[in-house]
Amino acid sequence: MNFDLTEDQILIRDMIQEFAQNEIKPHAKALEKSHQFPEELLKKLADLGILGMSIPSDYGGIKTDTLSLMITLEEISRALPSLSVIISVHSSLFSQAILQFGTDQQKKKYLPKAAIGEILGAFALTEPGAGSDIQGLNTKAEKKGDMYILNGTKAWVTTGSNALAYILFAVTQDHQNKNKLSAFIVDKDSPGLRICHIEEKMGLNASITAEIVLEDCRIPAENLLGQEGRGASIALHCLDGSRIGIAAQSVGLSQRALDEAVKYAKQRKAFGKTINNFQAIQFMIADMATFIESARLLTYRASILLDKGGPISKEASMAKLYASEAANKTVYLALQIHGGYGYSKEFVIEQLYRDARVLTLYEGTSEIQRLVISRHLLRE
């Protein structure tokens, strides 16, 4: 497999690096501190076409290959991890779900607006009582005439309060009264839908995470996504692609931690020399760089395989598992190199340390990734 970036991919990476340096980094600390959704940055990224990178030109997007999107998510995460997950959910979960499973009418209605950021999309799978175990979901959807009536609560929805539409999963009953999961496109302004709670999180403060309550929420029957009862496979299919996005977010966050650790080690003096002269510090830097490079290669490999059309569940889970665990090791070492100052909010490593913690949890915990990987290996 060839991991050399093409000219186009290099152009995109350089453009995003410049944008991150000039536009994202100067505002990152303030956005995180004030828990402010990065609306202005998203508008500027939309103007560059970034919100339409997974959407074909027929629907107003600039559809690139997956690796270009992942490089973009990596570079954005290097500047502001919160912003990276907002774009990842919008592109890899919301837009992809409609692109792959939507009707022509649904594609025409939602994708052109998603491509230019007129609507931001979210993905509402998790509930207060069920996360990993999607068969344990409890939100109900009942068909009445030409409407579905939804009742239940969706938890931990990234961009929940800022999105204008959700890919939302609920239980329907088939002809034999068996419970099956179905997927729906739900507009935020649907009657009976309300944002009831914003999570107070450990990190990723600029990414707003909401709980959504559906009380006799009425949506048109035409908003069913794919076939009734096929929701579980739609969710798992979308998560395969988006887990590569979380791997890319992990790589970018780790790279920033390494950048900061190297910078600090070259400036900080102890025992009459800068600390980069100590072998203990050098070894930590070597370990971090090796974690990052391994994670990046797994992320690139899964991206390339996705574009080749292959089944990628195992490869996406490997990339997500390794990159998210490596990010947590990397921020630990980078903070260690900062000594006591790493524990201060003055240095960005304190924020990265908190932001990294969620990477092994969302879009499938590390234990769930190991289940996916081992099931594939034992079946092969």
Ligand X SMILES: Cc1cc2nc3c(=O)[nH]c(=O)nc-3n(C[C@H](O)[C@H](O)[C@H](O)COP(=O)(O)OP(=O)(O)OC[C@H]3O[C@@H](n4cnc5c(N)ncnc54)[C@H](O)[C@@H]3O)c2cc1C
What residues are annotated to the active site?
363
First to last CA, the chain: 21
Residue 165, amino acid: A
Do residues 203 and 355 lie in contact, with contact meaning Cβ atoms separated by under 8 Å? Answer: yes
Question: What does the alpha-carbon distance between residue 83 and residue 270 come to, in Å, rounded to a whole number?
Answer: 36
**Which residue lies nearer to ligand X by CB, 38 or 49?**
38
Q: E strands, 70-124, where?
A: 121-124
Residues 6+ apart with CB under 8 A from 316: 240, 241, 243, 244, 247, 302, 306
Question: What does the alpha-carbon distance between residue 299 and residue 296 come to, in Å, rounded to a whole number?
Answer: 5
Q: Least Å distance between CB 241 and ligand X?
A: 14
Token output for 352 = 């990265």
CA-nearest of 12, 1, 20 to 68 is 12
Query: What is the phi-psi region of residue 271: left when phi exceeds 0, alpha when psi lies from -120 to 50, beta otherwise?
Result: left
Q: At 345, is the secondary structure helix, strand, or coil?
A: coil
Question: What does the alpha-carbon distance between residue 374 and residue 151 come to, in Å, rounded to a whole number?
Answer: 35
Residue 283, amino acid: F
Residues in contact with ligand X by the rule CB under 6 A: 89, 122-126, 131-133, 156-158, 201, 204, 209, 358, 361-365, 367-368, 371
Question: What does the alpha-carbon distance between residue 168 and residue 125 come to, in Å, rounded to a whole number?
Answer: 6
CA 366 → CA 88, 299, 372, distances in Å?
Answer: 19, 16, 10
Q: Least Å distance between CB 376 and ligand X?
A: 16
Question: What does the alpha-carbon distance between residue 246 and residue 358 come to, in Å, rounded to a whole number?
Answer: 10
**Which residue lies nearer to ligand X by CB, 64 or 77?**
77
Helix 313-337 crosses helix 279-307 at what angle (to 10 degrees)? 160
CA 122 → CA 95, 159, 208, 356, distances in Å?
Answer: 9, 6, 11, 21
Name residue 169's beta-bridge partners. Answer: 183
The burial class, CB within 10 Å (0-12 / 13-18 / 19+), for 189 is: exposed
